[in-house]
Amino acid sequence: MAEIAAARPFPFTFDPATTALIVIDMQRDFIEPGGFGATLGNDVTRLQAIVPTVAKLIGGARASGVPVIHTRECHASDLSDCPPAKRLRGAPTLRIGDTGPMGRILIAGEPGAEIVPELAPAAGELILDKPGKGAFYATPLGEELARLGSRSLIFAGVTTEVCVQTTMREANDRGFDCLLAEDATESYFPAFKAAALDMIRAQGAIVGWTATVEEVLEALGV
């Protein structure tokens, strides 16, 4: 067993042999200029800043034998899995399915829907395309985690308060112990990230724990 003694709100104990790392939506459409995040008026440089830290966490997981799972939020080319309630929300300069600088926004197979090159999945790593915010909805994630024998999950990715927190809550409801690497996740809004971290670890880790990447890697012995 391994322990992250400095995890918040109290030490996190886990078995690396039954742990997986889930990296949420580190896609060009959210992180690079011209993508969907930018069309919503957001400062994407906040998300770009965590790429090296996420890369370090992924490298540590690979070195310690912890499976790495990558998710991408994207839709079918005919938008059959993107309800109007999602596509028509707000007033972005481009909507899901519209053509932007990196192809059609958040459409599977388009350049913008791909994971940023610095975090490219390694051969054999699971990549899940998800139509919603949570990674369990309309995906085989639950079955894949059962196949791996995973009981604990470490999370990274974007954005903290939306897709990351949603997936952590889904995982918590399914009985997984969840930890978020707090410097390997980010929001376009600093206050939203801070609030999400507080919510996750409130009331005795009601959703899960948080720790830094260095603390996670130290516990993994890498």
Phi/psi of residue 103, each to 5°?
Answer: 90, -165
Instruction: List the structure tokens of 12.
Output: 């996190």
For residue 9, say if its preceding peptide bond is cis, omega within 30 degrees of 0.
yes
Catalytic residue among 56, 163, 178, 183: 163
Active site residue 82: no
Q: Compute the distance between CA of residue 23 and CA of residue 9 in angstroms, rounded to an integer.
A: 22
Q: Which one of 56, 82, 129, 130 is the catalytic residue?
A: 130
Q: Name 59's Cβ contacts closer than 8 Å, sequence gap at least 6.
A: none
25 in active site? yes
Name the nearest CA neighbour of 43 among 54, 26, 31.
31
Active-site entry in 25, 129, 177, 183: 25
> Is residue 130 annotated as a catalytic residue, yes or no?
yes
Other beta carbons within 10 angstroms of residue 153's beta carbon come to 23
Q: Active-site residues: which are they?
A: 25, 130, 163
